[in-house]
Amino acid sequence: MNASEVGAALKRRQLLSLLALTGMAGCGTSPTPSGTPVSTPSPAVTERLGSALTTTAAPPSAAPPSASPFPSPSATGKPGVMLGSYLALGGRTLRQSLALRRSQLDREQRIVHRFYPWDGYVPTGEPDVARSSLLMVSWHGAPWGGILDGGSDATIRSVARKLKAMNRPILLRWGWEMNGDWFDWSGAANGRNPADYVRVWRRLREIFADQGATNVSWIWSPNWNSSPAEPWNQVQRYYPGDDHVDWVGISGYNFYGESPSTLFGPVTRRYGGRKPIILSETAAVQDKARYIKRLHTWVADTPAVRAVVWFDTDIQEGTDHDFRFDTDPSALAAYRAMARDPHFNA
């Protein structure tokens, strides 16, 4: 997937956000895991959906892979939230971008987010990422059939060995936003059978375990709302099971004024009692200072959320959005206040 395709996905998500607010598509104003449109978010909606679905549609699995280096709700053993970002600033290298943010926030990024292709170049190290930072890797997915038939095993083993050789803790986010219809690893593009996604996920984890990549923790990361909003595409149908997930991530942007509660509340309520939650992609595209302040408050009031990763770029091909938090003084001040809050310095 190239940068243009990523931009197209963002455009598609923007459209879904608008349709969700109008009740025409997505998951409605309340992005409930069932994909059922409702007018307002409420715990009662989630309760009607029942407890978090175990993947009974998937085949029984062998013993779970080796333990994650982050098995507890706090990845660091400290209370609070880790704050980081995906950084791609126009005219700057990653090192220069990190230096700019360090000067603005008086701190390192606790998490640095990078994107790696499925079967293209995967580096053997990230020298610009401080050792005090966690590396979060979004590893592109692929059509499921070529994984389930064993044809991709060599690729998977190669990536596992490279990530192991980095000799640092890594948060791995594979095949994200599978409940959308904009990537070729989505349910919509793979026979509308989420149970196969679960099989793929478990296969990947087993191969990583076989390669001894015990420095890798796995983030299962759906989009905040589903497209299409049909019963087969309910977000919980993609869940690989508690033994196979270390973190639950959520992607959500305020394309049309959605609140953090609307974007992140339903998935957090469903899984936050069992897994640490990471807001793996978020940013504001309008009224940035207000969104950042609301995000700051909502996360601080939601103990299940243990990490926030801002999508910090102004050069995303295929979209005209500027996701940087320093586009105006009020937004920068709001983000700086969040970054300097001791609760966000885990």
In order of their start, the domains of the chain are 3-42+76-344 (3.20.20.80)
Is residue 95 within 8 Å of 107, Cβ to Cβ? no
Is residue 183 within 8 Å of 134, Cβ to Cβ? no
> What's the rounded Cα separation, in Å, for the pair 324 and 285?
9
Percent of the chain with pLDDT over 90: 75
* Lowest-confidence region among 9-23, 38-52, 159-173: 38-52
Token digits of residue 61: 């699995």
User: What pLDDT is stored for residue 66 in this prediction?
Assistant: 39
Three-state DSSP class for residue 120: coil
pLDDT digits (tens, 9 = 90+) for 88-98: 999 999 999 99
Average pLDDT for the chain = 84
User: What pLDDT is stored for residue 28 in this prediction?
Assistant: 29
Token digits of residue 183: 């990537």
pLDDT(328) > 80: yes
User: What pLDDT is stored for residue 10 in this prediction?
Assistant: 66
pLDDT(63) > 60: no
Mean pLDDT, to the nearest integer, of 336-345? 98
More confident site: 26 or 113: 113
pLDDT digits (tens, 9 = 90+) for 212-234: 999 999 999 999 999 999 999 99
Calculate the alpha carbon distances from 114 to 51, 85, 231, 281 in Å.
33, 9, 32, 12
pLDDT(41) > 70: no
Inter-axis angle of helices 153-165 and 194-210, to 10 degrees?
Answer: 50
Is residue 219 within 8 Å of 280, Cβ to Cβ? yes
Helix (H) or strand (E) holding 289: helix 288-300
> What's the rounded Cα separation, in Å, for the pair 159 and 163?
6
Is residue 290 within 8 Å of 327, Cβ to Cβ? no
User: What pLDDT is stored for residue 187 in this prediction?
Assistant: 98
> What's the rounded Cα separation, in Å, for the pair 9 and 169?
29
Residue 316: pLDDT band (50, 70, 90) is: confident
User: What pLDDT is stored for residue 318 in this prediction?
Assistant: 83
User: What pLDDT is stored for residue 193 in this prediction?
Assistant: 98
Is residue 199 within 8 Å of 238, Cβ to Cβ? no
Positions marked active-site: 177, 281
